[in-house]
Structure 1
Amino acid sequence: MDKLLVFVAFIISLSFVHCAPYECISNSTDEFEDSYVGLLISPVLSTETYREIEIYWNHAKYRVGDEIGLYTEKPRDDLEPIFIIHPDSQSGIVKTGIQADFIPTSNLTFTKQCLKYHVAWLRTGMVRKENCLKTQPTWMSDMKNILGRRRMRDLFLPGTHDSSAYAKTNFILPETLVTKYVITQDEDVLGQLIYGARYLDIRVGYYATEAIQWWGSHGLVAVVPFQTVIDDVKTFLNNTDEIVIFDVQEFPVGFGQDFTIHRKLVAYLEEQFADYIIPKSFGWSSTLDTIWSSGKKLIIGYDDHNVVGMFDSLWPSVTQQWGNVQKVDDLYDYLNKIETNALSIISSSKVNPRSAMAELTPKAWDIFLDRLGGLRKMAEDVDAKITMWYNTKWQHSANIVAVDFIKATGIVETALEWNERRFNSC
């Protein structure tokens, strides 16, 4: 990486920290307050293991002799971990070889919960920092006192890329060239929301002659009936007070230049989400408190400004920022550029929210020749790094960050931590 560029970005971020009215600077002397230890679930499938648990950490003041332990219950000083590592660097990620249990979405609740696996940082045998594999179904409303006066474009929001291109299963399904480059999530849409995503990147295909006409698609591939996606969102909204951005970004099949199909899709969305839609007249400048006071909780973004102009139910879509790169270093460079630029833009001049599309993107020949090993392998290469970058470099500028295989990242916990630090007074 260009060290000068990184240094300049760091200096800019420090300037932002000290001048921003909402930034909370901790005076704590506890070295563990700014450290991090967490659990990821690898998206990689193999004949040996899948849903492999990974431990990742970041602690600037680690010491020789420190340990990180994996547990199947809340850690205690006298409890023996089932797996242990000795960190020998400030940050890192280690595969455990241990397979996490499969958890059907029907077993998840709308109350925050730890899901069996815990991790702890140990010093001289004592637990100093702990975490667990957890859900975050109500994080936005839980932070209402902190976030209520803020706008969606001010927040750090975790999101999922190609949210309806999922395959949730307890079995290892044989991968084909198509599935290797189509599937982007291991959780259905309800699961993604329960784990903490508040931005959904939606692509819709229309198949006029089929029994099921509307599909959640990835490119030209129909993945899941669109009604299933809609029902998942409604279930989530019925059970929480969270605000969700349902951002319809692409229309890969069946639309062409025919606005008749767009009108048909909008009518479908308006019928299905009639009780939830926040009208466009509220605008992206509305605070969360203003939105909550309306009793509505769903923002439908739509990536066609002509169609948006016809309906008060549709909002201008989120601005997606794509690097379209195939290498980790190139993704870092692109994200560093957009996040550094975001710090220089005066808050009052920002209009729509923006989403950093934080994933590698294969080209056509990469897919045909399978040069990159598939989206799961690509996500494995970058997901933990994305978490580290946004936790240590771009935490002050981040708006929406959309990822593949959300449980393979710590982006939800990173977003929650930095929303609190940004807006909570010490």
Structure 2
Amino acid sequence: MTERETTSAASPAGPPQSYATQCGKVWLTVSSLWRPIAASDKVIDAELEVNWDLDCPPNVGIPDTIKVFTADPAHNSSVQPQLIVTLAAHPEGYYRTNISVGRPSLPGGWDANGGATLPGPHCLKHHAALYIDNVILTSACLQIWPTWMYDLRRQLGRLPIGSLMIPGTHNSGCYKHGDLTRRDAFQRYLLTQDRDVWTQLVHGIRYLDIRIGHYPPIPHNITNIDDLTNHAGRFWVNHDVIRINPLLAIIKDVRNFLDVARGEVVIMDFHRFPVGFEGRPSRHRRLVSILHREFGGLILKPSRGVDGLGPTLNDIWNSGRRLIICYGDKLTVNEYEWLWPSLTQAWGNQQTPDGLFEYLNSVLMGPRKTRNTLNPLWAIMAEMTPRPLDIIFNPSGGLRQMADAINKNLSVLFQNEWWKHTNIVATDFFLGNNLIDVSIQSNIKKSNIAQWRL
């Protein structure tokens, strides 16, 4: 079975996927950058990006154009392109458009306000098609895949969770609801994501990186007496020492997603506790009691599984428990049998794209690094890190620019080689890369390899 046939078999009823053809691949991403609007507090952001990776054999002609549409051109011959990109003019394989995606409704009933939800991948309105002499070679859409794990259960069920490639987000709770404004955009070193946790999960993210701070309660954020008496309103998702969003919002999104996406496995990594926890074990206990109250019967107990790679997806589904909670405080983990030990994060602390890519290559392609032997999961943190002086003296920079500098390259790097050695990969502004799709296709390949070995 060819790679193209493998993809089609995995989702026979789904939209056209960004699969490899004999000549390459096309995919759509969303820029993390923004542009000001004159005399307005509003900004233009979430602009569409077109990406391609060509690898044509000598006897095959080279594709010449990519066209962007607001409907699938393969099923709607009358739709006219919004944009035509001449590939020869862009040898880097990337083009940022001025087409704003915005924050559209999620297809298939997956808007956060509830309703019937349909499994499988679903296209948003934007499509891109790769052409040679005005003939379509392949096409792709900007899409969500809210149920990819269970959709692919026949292929992926035998794989241990520690062997899967799992797409994740870094500082997952550091986002802003609603449209971006100039004021929000200038929080350039605080916000790391453009979508809330519900939307991240619906797109296909399965690993959430969370840092928690403890603060006195803010009365207007307490919606009922239980929040006050159980101290839930005091816990916030932080970016380092700055609080960003109430933890309750993230808990609600994860719980709602697990309730409707009944085969999906989610990893919540409570990695650090930068404010209010030092020397206060009772606050860890309060936080853990809230997690148990909200998720109880969904929490999977730790297991190293076969060969130390954790339980298989089949094992997890058979248990009926699909939430893994990793916790970065050893004393607390020792008190609760259902908490997973701290998860190793491979973090390069790099300030340039070349430095980050060199570090990631050394981790993924070099000798295996020491990891927490008590936890079969580990994460590559594929984002750059600003220095303290950058925050003070680089007013035109920020995390959006850092993400933009690397996201467009991560997709190709992981889909070519790095996927073989990756477990979790977490990024900033995840819509700026194609790692959800790369992870799904990589897991299908891992399943084929495992089956061949059997």
TM-score by length of 2: 0.82
The corresponding residue for 1:189 is 197
Counterpart contact for 1:201–1:248, Cα < 8 Å: yes
Q: Deviations over 1:305-359 (max 9, x none)?
A: 22111101200132100000110000010000000136x6899x89522111000
The corresponding residue for 2:210 is 202
Shift of 1:66: 1.7
Q: Provide the rounded CA distance (Å) in 1 between the counterparts of 2:4 and 2:172.
A: 39
Counterpart contact for 2:22–2:55, Cα < 8 Å: no
The corresponding residue for 1:373 is 397
CA distance change for structure 1 residues 31 and 303 in 2, over 3 Å: closer, same or farther? closer
Q: Which moved more, 1:223-232 or 1:121-130?
A: 121-130
CA distance change for structure 1 residues 199 and 124 in 2, over 3 Å: closer, same or farther? same
Q: Which runs of 5 or more residues in structure 2 are unaligned? A: 6-18, 38-43, 220-232
Counterpart AA for 1:398:
T
* Structure 1 residues 103-252: aligned runs within 5 Å: 103-104=104-105, 107=111, 109=117, 111=119, 112-175=121-184, 179-208=187-216, 210-211=218-219, 212-240=233-261, 241-252=263-274
Counterpart contact for 2:176–2:194, Cα < 8 Å: yes
Counterpart contact for 2:45–2:180, Cα < 8 Å: no
SS of the residue aligned with 1:43?
coil
Indicate which of 239, 264, 268 corresponds to 2:290.
268
Counterpart contact for 1:74–1:118, Cα < 8 Å: yes
Q: Provide the rounded CA distance (Å) in 2 between the counterparts of 1:32 and 1:152.
A: 29
Q: Does 1:47 align with 2:45?
A: no
The corresponding residue for 1:338 is 363
The corresponding residue for 2:66 is 68
Shift of 1:287: 1.1
Cα RMSD, aligned residues only = 2.6
SS of the residue aligned with 2:177?
coil
Counterpart contact for 2:301–2:338, Cα < 8 Å: yes
Counterpart AA for 1:403:
T
Provide runs of 4+ in structure 1 moved above 3 Å. 24-28, 62-65, 76-80, 104-111, 208-211, 281-284, 344-347
Q: Deviations over 1:219-253 (max 9, x none)?
A: 11111111110000001000011000011001011
CA distance change for structure 1 residues 399 and 350 in 2, over 3 Å: closer, same or farther? farther
Q: Provide the rounded CA distance (Å) in 2 between the counterparts of 1:221 and 1:163.
A: 14
Counterpart AA for 2:127:
H
Counterpart contact for 1:38–1:131, Cα < 8 Å: yes
CA distance change for structure 1 residues 351 and 259 in 2, over 3 Å: closer, same or farther? closer
* Structure 1 residues 286-325: aligned runs within 5 Å: 286-325=311-350
Shift of 1:70: 0.4
Shift of 1:80: 3.2
CA distance change for structure 1 residues 294 and 65 in 2, over 3 Å: closer, same or farther? closer
Higher relative contact order (CA 8 A, sep 6+): 1
Q: Provide the rounded CA distance (Å) in 2 between the counterparts of 1:372 and 1:336.
A: 29
Shift of 1:188: 0.4
Q: Which moved more, 1:324-333 or 1:58-67?
A: 58-67
Shift of 1:149: 1.3
Counterpart AA for 2:352:
K
Q: Does 1:411 align with 2:435?
A: yes
SS of the residue aligned with 1:107?
coil
Shift of 1:257: 2.1
Counterpart contact for 2:170–2:428, Cα < 8 Å: yes
TM-score by length of 1: 0.87
Q: Which runs of 5 or more residues in structure 1 are unaligned? A: 1-23
Q: Provide the rounded CA distance (Å) in 2 between the counterparts of 1:346 and 1:340.
A: 14
SS of the residue aligned with 1:249?
strand
SS of the residue aligned with 1:395?
helix
Q: Provide the rounded CA distance (Å) in 2 between the counterparts of 1:31 and 1:38.
A: 10
Q: Provide the rounded CA distance (Å) in 1 between the counterparts of 2:200 and 2:336.
A: 28
Q: Which moved more, 1:68-77 or 1:105-114?
A: 105-114
**Matched-pair identity in %:** 33
Paired residues, number? 399
Q: Which moved more, 1:239-248 or 1:270-279?
A: 270-279
Q: Provide the rounded CA distance (Å) in 2 between the counterparts of 1:388 and 1:364.
A: 31
Q: Provide the rounded CA distance (Å) in 2 between the counterparts of 1:122 and 1:186.
A: 31
Q: Provide the rounded CA distance (Å) in 2 between the counterparts of 1:337 and 1:375.
A: 24
Counterpart AA for 2:235:
W
The corresponding residue for 2:87 is 87
Shift of 1:159: 0.2
Q: Deviations over 1:79-118 (max 9, x none)?
A: 4321111213665110111111422567365533101000
SS of the residue aligned with 1:388?
helix
Shift of 1:143: 1.0
